[in-house]
């Protein structure tokens, strides 16, 4: 019998966990020919999440949990989950029930047909502001235009991954993770299924615009070097016009002499170039900072407890 791991990263999700567990159980009972493991990753929650997980495990041994030593963020919680998942396939699903567990039987069906990565694509996004939708669509189109890796738009982390995708992702140990891009990068047979995304069942989103901005920068810097090329491009264009301007100034001076003037144009050019240089330095800095972080080669996370046992 094949095992399917349902992996749930959870950060301060005390309000939804019982609800989630009930919904998952209902779905699991519809697909009898598999053994299910429900693997919850407690990402350093400050609320009662960990106690609820312990209680669920006590009542049901098919529930496992990994308790991280602090809050590492969803991307890291997911790699921790993949490291601990035992299944022949792993389904990643959010704790807040924004991803309907009812899609799981369909995912398994396609998996049996030979697909390695069955991902759920949002047809609609209920409960999100137009501004969030707009910024997100702009971000995706920018990312797609600047990288050769196909990026899946309107797709979250809700998906079924075959064991070989899991093994591939486990080999990618970069500390600054943009998992959504990695799913595309590893390749294998992909299949999309469409669904309508519900608003959160309870609790509140952990993403604010600052965090989303970070994730966007992460996405751009880990999948494209386009911003670095932009600096060279700016440099070339500006040098070209500067060159024309030099010829113009020299000719003018030779033909008509040079009364002292030019303070405004001088100031404009200096300020403009100064701005471009700072911007380019900033861009280089973003990449450099990432190189610095990756060269430290730190472990991605620490585990406090795995299934009632302290991890040393």
Residues binding ligand UDP (CB under 6 A): 9-11, 13, 43, 71, 73-74, 77, 94-96, 98, 205-207
Which listed residue (98, 147, 179, 224) binds Mg ion by CB under 5 A? 98
Toward Mg ion, which CB reaches closer, 207 or 240?
Answer: 207
In the block, tokens 């047979």 appear at 189
Of 309, 312, 311, 307, the C-alpha closest to 65 is: 307
Asked if 117 interacts with Mg ion (CB under 5 A), we say: no
Which part of the chain contacts Mg ion (CB under 5 A), choosing from 17-25, 36-44, 96-104, 153-161?
Answer: 96-104
What is the phi/psi pair of residue 38, to 5°?
A: -100, 110
Nearer to ligand UDP, 215 or 228 (CB): 215
What are the CA-CA distances from residue 203 to residues 70, 206, 263, 305 (Å)? 20, 9, 59, 25
Provide the pairing of β-strand 309-310 with 303-306: antiparallel
| β-sheet bridge partners, residue 193 | 120
77 binds, among ligand UDP, Mg ion, none (CB under 5 to 8 A by kind): ligand UDP
**Residue 88: CB partners within 8 Å, gap ≥ 6?**
2, 3, 4, 162, 163
* Closest separation in Å from C-beta 191 to Mg ion: 23
| Shortest CB 28 distance to ligand UDP, Å | 19
The CA distance from 14 to 26, in Å, is 20
Nearer of residues 41 and 89 to ligand UDP, judged by Cβ: 41
Least distance CB 266 / ligand UDP (angstroms): 49
Q: Record the tokens describing residue 164, joined without a space.
A: 């070989």
Q: Are 27 and 101 in contact (CB under 8 A)?
A: yes
Q: Select from ligand UDP, Mg ion, none the partner in contact with residue 243, using the beta carbon and a kind-dependent cut-off of 5 to 8 Å.
A: none
Judged by CB under 5 A, the stretch of 71-79, 93-101, 254-262, 299-307 that binds Mg ion is 93-101
Kindly state whether residue 96 participates in binding Mg ion, applying the rule CB under 5 A: yes
CB of 119 to ligand UDP, least distance (A): 15
Neighbours of 311 (CB within 10 A): 12
Task: List interacting residues with Mg ion (CB under 5 A).
Answer: 96, 98
């Amino acid at each position: 019998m094949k095992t399917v791991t349902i992996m749930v990263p959870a950060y301060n999700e005390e309000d939804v966990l019982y609800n989630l567990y009930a919904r998952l159980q209902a779905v699991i009972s519809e697909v009898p020919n598999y053994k299910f493991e429900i693997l919850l990753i407690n990402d350093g929650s400050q609320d009662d999440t960990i106690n609820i997980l312990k209680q669920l495990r006590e009542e049901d041994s098919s529930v496992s949990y990994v308790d991280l030593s602090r809050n590492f963020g969803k991307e890291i919680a997911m790699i921790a989950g993949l490291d601990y998942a035992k299944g022949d396939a792993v389904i990643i699903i959010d704790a807040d029930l924004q991803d309907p567990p009812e899609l799981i039987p369909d995912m398994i069906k396609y998996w049996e047909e030979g697909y390695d990565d069955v991902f759920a694509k949002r047809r609609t996004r209920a409960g999100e502001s137009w501004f969030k939708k707009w910024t997100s669509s702009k971000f995706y189109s920018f990312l797609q235009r600047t990288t050769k890796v196909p990026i899946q738009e309107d797709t979250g982390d809700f998906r079924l991954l075959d064991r070989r995708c899991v093994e591939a992702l486990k080999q990618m140990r970069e500390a600054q993770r943009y998992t959504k891009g990695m799913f595309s990068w590893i390749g294998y047979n992909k299949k999309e299924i469409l669904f309508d995304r519900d608003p959160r069942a309870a609790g509140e989103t952990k993403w604010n615009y600052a965090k989303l901005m970070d994730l966007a920068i992460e996405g751009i810097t880990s999948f494209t070097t386009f911003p670095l090329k932009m600096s060279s491009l700016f440099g070339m264009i500006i040098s070209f016009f500067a060159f024309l301007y030099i010829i113009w100034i020299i000719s003018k001076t030779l033909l008509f002499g040079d009364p002292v003037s030019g303070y405004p144009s001088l100031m404009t050019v200096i300020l403009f170039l100064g701005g471009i240089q700072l911007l380019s330095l900033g861009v280089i800095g973003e990449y450099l900072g990432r190189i610095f972080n990756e060269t430290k080669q730190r472990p991605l996370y620490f585990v406090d407890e795995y299934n009632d046992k302290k991890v040393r």
